Amino acid sequence: MKNVNIRLTAPVDSLCDYTFNFHYLNQKLDPDSLIPNQAESSYTYQDLVDALKSGADVHIKGDVGERLAYSMGVDLKHQGGSGRPKPAGRVFVDGSVGSEAGMGMVAGALYISQTVQEPLGNIIEVAPDVDGYRKFRSITDIMCSGPGEDTLVSNSLDKDDNILTLNDGILRGTIGARMDCRGTVRVEGDAYNGTGLLLRQGIVYVKGNAGMNTGSRLAGGTVVISGIVDEFAGAYMRSGHLVIKEAKGYVGANMTGGAIYSKKKVPLSPPATPVKKTGENSKMLRRVLGVGQLEAMLYNKYEVGAKKEQYMKVRMRDGSVVMRKVE
Helix (H) or strand (E) holding 289: helix 279-289
- pLDDT score for 317: 64
- pLDDT score for 23: 83
- pLDDT score for 304: 94
Q: Which residues does residue 158 pair with via DSSP β-bridges, in sequence order?
A: 163
Cα 287 to Cα 282: distance, rounded to the nearest angstrom? 9
Q: Cβ atoms within 10 A of the Cβ of 231, count?
A: 18
- pTM of the predicted model as reported, rounded to 2 decimal places: 0.91
Q: Which residues does residue 61 pair with via DSSP β-bridges, in sequence order?
A: 7, 94
Edge to edge, the sheet with strand 156-158 lists 156-158, 163-166, 184-187, 203-206, 219-225, 239-244, 259-262, 300-304, 272-275
Section 94-101 average pLDDT: 99
The region that residue 280 occupies, defined by phi over 0 for left and psi between -120 and 50 for alpha, beta otherwise, is alpha
- pLDDT score for 295: 95
pLDDT band (50, 70, 90) for residue 322:
low
Which CA distances in Å does 159 have to 148, 167, 224, 233?
Answer: 11, 17, 21, 30
The region that residue 178 occupies, defined by phi over 0 for left and psi between -120 and 50 for alpha, beta otherwise, is left
- pLDDT score for 28: 84
Section 52-66 average pLDDT: 98
pLDDT band (50, 70, 90) for residue 1:
confident
Section 204-220 average pLDDT: 98
Task: Compute the residue count for the chain.
Answer: 327
Residue 26, pLDDT > 90, answer no
Residue 318, pLDDT > 80, answer no
Q: Which comes out higher in pLDDT, residue 326 or 294?
A: 294
- pLDDT score for 214: 98
∠276-182-227 over CA atoms, to 5°? 50
- pLDDT score for 134: 98
Percent of the chain at pLDDT exceeding 90: 88
Give the model confidence (pLDDT) of 230-280 as tens digits: 999 999 999 999 999 999 999 999 999 999 999 999 999 999 999 999 999
Helix ranges (H only) for 97-245 are 139-145
Cα 105 to Cα 111: distance, rounded to the nearest angstrom? 14
Residue 284, pLDDT > 60, answer yes
